[in-house]
Structures are given as structure tokens and as C-alpha cells.
Structure 1
């Protein structure tokens, strides 16, 4: 079984993919950045890491393998357990495990697991198609330095132009300014008179219109009947993460289990039959995956060790 292929598929959609009794591959999004020395632009991406402390089976990997290979969930769990046993034996012998497009795993001198991520794939779907870009640097100060150098060699001076005095031109300019000001004053007076006349006419028209409206009487002989609208209740999404309490061949047993969980204070409910015809009942459903995992661990520790997480859209 090519376990790394299934892990790689899930890393596109989830931030944590757990391999039971082995460890978890984690992703963290980082923003786009620019390398100052090489002028290279790097798109946003997901950075991979590995945590060998998270080994609890959340059902995500097993359910995905079961759906892809069309096998029961329990068979998928056994195949994962067998593959993990083989991987641990290779690590114990000092070999380095290479997961294609994910990274390399090995043991250090202290017996702890070391992970070297692979950079061949970008698991951030928002950055699909974006690649590294190198842009040449723009030197804006070069031209400024060249101009300053030229000014030092060839200084620029301004010499005022000498003209002969013509006094009659001065009087002609004064007369032109006086005529222009007079025309502007008379034009403004005429425009103001027209605007005042238009304003009075508009006010008179508005007064007549208001009196006509006040005198009018509206009578509706055949009013329309009242319309009654029925609005369906909108159900709030319950989430795609469901903590399974049990699956029963007989629906009556499923109902008994449901009532038992409700009496114990759980937000339990039935989610229908699965593809094997078993009626499923859940402790609770969640929209947040980390919240669902936290609740699952608490239930497995205090109530039911056989509880597991189902990731499915029931809407």
C-alpha cells in the first residue's frame, strides 16, 4: 500500500493528517516573500512538519483509504497498522524513510525522529499555478548621481533678458483689464437676475402642485386580499465532523442507544444508515476539526474507547 500517496492527497485539504501509532504530518500556511539579495519572489505555501507525539487514530486516513480502495473501515485500519509496523522496523535498522512529495524521516543518535520536508509540491490550493519569479533590481539613484555630476562640470546660470521700455504698452494693458472687469460685473448681474426669476417660478409651481395633492381623494373599491407567507425554518449547519458512538443493524437498538446517550447529557442524534446498512448514532457533531478531536479524546478516555471520528458532509 502506497501510504504516502494517501497522506499527500489529504494534505491539500487538512492541516493535520495522523498515521495511527506513528505520528502526524502538519501543515502551516506562510505568506509570499521576497529574497532581498537574489530579488526572487516566492508565492504563499504550506510548510510541512512532523509530530511523533500525535498518534491517536482520528479515523481520517482510514476512512479515506476505505473510500478509495472500496474496502471496510476495519480492513483499512489493519492495513495501516501493518504498514506502520514495517516502517518502524526500517527506522530501527537505521534506514531513512522517503515519502514522495512529503519528506524524509529518520532516527537521530538519541532515538528521536527527524523530519526533512520536501519542497517539490505546494499543498496550498490558493497558490495553484504560481511559481518562483526573479525580477532584476531597479537602480533609481544612478540617474540622480549622473545629473549631479553634469551640474558640477557645466554650471547652469540664468541671465535676465534686457528689453527696451515701451510706456504705451503699459497703458493699453491697464485699459484691457478695466474693460474685462466691467464685462464680468455686468454679466454676473444679468445671470443673477435670471436665476432669481427662475427660482420664483419654481416656487409658484410647487405651491400649486401641493394644493392639488391636498384636494385629491383616493378611493379603492376592490382592495387586494391579504397575502399570508409561510417561511420555512432554516436549519443551522451541524458540521462535517461526527463522533460515532455505534452502528446497529436493527434500528430499535440504535434508538435505545440514542436515548441512553441523551439521558447521559450528550448532544446525541441519529445520522442515518451507512453504505453497509448499519444505523449510526453520534455523540455530537462539530464544524471545527480540532474541537471534534478534543471531544473525541475526552470520550475515549472517560466513556467509550471504541468511539471514532467520521468526516462526512450530511447536508
Structure 2
């Protein structure tokens, strides 16, 4: 059983996930940032840390495991206890423990446990957004006044806001933002006619692509009956085609969360509708589960 996969899933919706008798994974939020030395913009993020002092069972992880796998509450509790024993035994005989979905645990010379998280961003509002380096296609002077720098920053804001507003689907957002940076023109005072034409073109592209993307997003709802998650995009597309052949014409790949592409039978505006649909197909597809982006 891949317990860390269930922990990772919960961290998108909760600030703390306790693994009974082992410790708690806690999320820490940070705002978007700009690094002048590298000209890199970083999106808002939610990274994880580990607290070994929080070990009392709050039921959250047990409930998630039971609901997503279809086993009883007691069986889920036993599965977690077995996994925790394995983790502890591994750390007693080895200097490190690698949890692919979360990060790496290591022991120092005194036996103190240290945690190095992976680079996953657990903030849904910024899901799929990557750090962006501004690309300038017009020459700029080495010594610029403060007003010139602020002029450039102000020109970047609409592009950043446009990308961050469409966070529901990670891959289109990433493409959208990266495309806009690729055409960004560094504003300078007293531009000539050619520079003005270079600025005008990408602005039209932003408007048309943003409109098209918004129309696509409206067809995917927050409560999704998931058929499966796949590490490779081609595997997810193959699953969609298979479901279409079986008569599930509404099936689609809804989003990429972490390293996985999620394929849904169907999406619904309410959780009750999604759960009802899961019950209807549950006998034929017992591994189906409901993913709610908004509880």
C-alpha cells in the first residue's frame, strides 16, 4: 500500500496530516516572489514540513484510506500501523527513508530524524504554475532609473494575474504563462515604431487564448468521479479512449496533481451528485473514488 500517496493527496486540502505513532506533515504557505538577481518570478506556494511530536490519531488519514480503497475503518487503521512499523524498522537499520510522494528522511550522528521535502507545491490556487524567468528582446541600458524598473514591473502584472486566475487546469496554465513570457517585450522610454509593433502583437494573443481557455474550463466541475491516476500522459489518454469505447462519453483527463494525471468518468457541480454516480457504477468499477476540489 502506497500510504504516502494518500498523505500527499490530503495535503492539498488540509494544513496538517497526522500519521499515528510516526509524526505529522504540516504545510507552510508563502507568497509569490521576485528574485531581481535572476529575474525569476515564483508563484505562491505551500510546502511541507515534518513534526515528529504530533503522533495522536485524529482519524483524518484513516478515513481517507478507508474511503478511497473501499476497506473498513479498522482495516485502514491496521494498514497504517503496518506501514509505520515498516518505516521505523527501516530507519533503525538504515540512515535514510525515501518517500517518493513526500520527501526524504535521514538520521544524523546523534540519531535525530531530519526531513527534506520534495519540490511539490500543495497550493491548489497555484497548481501547475512554474517559476518564470523574464525574457527581454529589446536592449536595455545597464544603469536604469528606479522609475524605469517600476515601469517594467507594472507591465508584467497583467500577464501574471491572467495566468494565476486560471489555476484549475495545470498544463494549460503553464503553457499560457510561458507563451506570454516568450513574447514579452521590456518597455523602454521613447520606443521607436518597430518596438511598439512588437508590444502590440502578444497582447492580442493573450486576449484570444484566455477566452478560449476559459470556455474549456467551464465544462469541468469540482467534484469528480475518478477512474484512475497515471504517471504518464499517454497512459491517461489511453484510459480516456478506453472509457469512451465502453460508453462513458463524458470521460476526460481532468488535471495533473503532483506526478499523476487524473482521469474522471464524469464531473459534477455537487459532491452528492458525484457520490450518487459512484454508487451507480461502483459494482462494475469498485476502484472508483470521488475527488472533491472544494469541500
Q: Normalising to structure 1: TM-score of the pair?
A: 0.43
Q: Normalising to structure 2: TM-score of the pair?
A: 0.46
Q: Report which of the two structures shows the higher radius of gyration computed on alpha carbons.
A: 1
